[in-house]
């Protein structure tokens, strides 16, 4: 408990799945959490659960692809005590899967705007606070699709691979300010949009991990908590797969 006590954390895409689990765990561990999303009721429910367990959180409607929403979210978070200690860029877009020939401009545009530019906008707005306080942790939720080939998801995969490069560049530039930037790469995780147990795709996912199973959002959240906390004070620029060993094979 209290591994991020009194820290101010901002999480994008915090209403459901991995983002929800990260928000709840940060709240349990003592952070004040700004839950941002476009799904208002689910986001407010995340806040209710955090508060019910004794944590502190607020919800803020933010479309990550809008630069002005990122600025307003950071201003809202900084109202708490003037700091931004943790930023978790989790929001992404995953539409229908398409290979190169079938992918559309609209699909590419949304993947880039949400996952890549959304990460950029929120990072750009968080950095001045972190530089001023000479400390901060940015955790980018990427995907093992940035590390391993995957079928029919060229726009999503390319965007996620770009995020790895973004993370490395930001870690290099802002390390001298004691701002750490790291990537998490989840493998198959059971969320509302994942394959259901018993389906062929679910079995394929299990078969491709070393542990032989699909992970939970909470297992990704524990890794995010480590990178966000002072326990990872000498860790920056890393790519951490949370994938049951998928990328080890």
Helix axes 118-133, 154-174, angle to 10 degrees: 20
d(CA 215, CA 236): 24
Nearest to 147 by CA among 246, 1, 244: 246
d(CA 69, CA 90): 15
State the catalytic residue, choosing from 59, 93, 121, 156: 156
Helix (H) or strand (E) holding 9: strand 8-12
Q: Which of the 8 DSSP states describes residue 176?
A: G
- Residue 156 designated active-site: yes
Question: Which residue is listed with tokens 């990328």?
Answer: 247
Residue 11, strand partner residues: 35, 88
Active site residues: 156
């Amino acid at each position: 408990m209290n591994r991020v006590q009194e820290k101010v954390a901002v999480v994008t895409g915090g209403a459901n799945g991995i983002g929800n689990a990260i928000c709840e765990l940060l709240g349990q561990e003592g952070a004040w959490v700004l839950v941002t999303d476009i799904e208002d009721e689910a986001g407010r429910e995340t806040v209710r659960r955090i508060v019910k367990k004794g944590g502190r959180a607020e919800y803020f409607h933010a479309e990550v692809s809008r630069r002005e929403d990122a600025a307003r979210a950071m201003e809202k978070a900084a109202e708490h005590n003037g700091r931004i200690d943790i930023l978790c860029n989790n929001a992404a877009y995953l539409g229908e899967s398409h290979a190169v020939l079938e992918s559309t401009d609209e699909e590419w545009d949304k993947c880039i705007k949400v996952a890549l530019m959304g990460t950029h906008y929120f990072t750009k707005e968080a950095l001045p606070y972190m530089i001023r306080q000479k400390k901060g942790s940015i955790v980018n939720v990427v995907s093992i699709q940035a590390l391993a080939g995957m079928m029919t998801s060229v726009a999503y995969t390319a965007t996620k691979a770009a995020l790895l490069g973004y993370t490395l560049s930001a870690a290099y530039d802002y390390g001298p300010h004691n701002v750490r930037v790291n990537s998490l790469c989840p493998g198959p995780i059971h969320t509302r949009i994942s394959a259901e147990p018993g389906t062929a795709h679910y079995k394929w996912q299990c078969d491709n991990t070393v542990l032989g199973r699909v992970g939970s959002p909470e297992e990704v959240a524990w890794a995010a908590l480590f990178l966000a906390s002072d326990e990872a004070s000498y860790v920056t620029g890393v790519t951490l797969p949370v994938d049951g060993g998928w990328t080890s094979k």
